[in-house]
Amino acid sequence: MEAKTSLKRKNDNSKVLNELGIADNFFSRAKGLLGTKNLAPGRGLWIHRCNSIHTFFMKYAIDCIFLDSEMKIVSLIPQVTPGKMVWPQPRALSVVEMAAGQLEKLNLKVGEELYVGN
């Protein structure tokens, strides 16, 4: 996963993730984090046009932030272990996947608005 940008809170401009890869085409979205051995804290993958995920064939757990069209958090799903399915999240149009345990440290809230930028 190649870092393209960062993920920040809109209200105070603080960084949520230092390095954010972007999966916005068929192949990058289909691959997601499959084939990776781990995901370092502070790194994540933003998958466009995605309101549900699975961790089949993954080797580690992840935390997920589901976002609507305005980058508002519609749901937070922590500790998705390998072999699980997260069913479609209402109003979600994209998801940010990050290392498990990051959501607890970040103290994000449903309704909070994020943005992508440097």
Task: Kindly state the average pLDDT of the residues 11-19.
Answer: 95
**Across the chain, how many H-helices and E-strands are there?**
2, 9
Angstrom distance (rounded) from CA 23 to CA 32? 7
Average pLDDT over residues 66-93: 98
pLDDT in tens, 26-75: 999 989 999 899 999 999 999 999 999 999 999 999 999 999 999 999 99
The model's pTM is 0.94
Count of CB atoms situated within 10 Å of the CB of 80 = 20
Q: Which domains does the chain have, with CATH numbers?
A: 5-108 (2.60.120.1140)
Phi-psi region of 44 (alpha: psi -120 to 50; beta: other; left: phi over 0): beta
Given pLDDT bands bounded at 50, 70 and 90, which one contains residue 118?
confident
pLDDT for the residue 2: 54
Q: Looking up tokens 């979205």, which residue turns up?
A: 29
| Residue 118 structure tokens | 């440097």
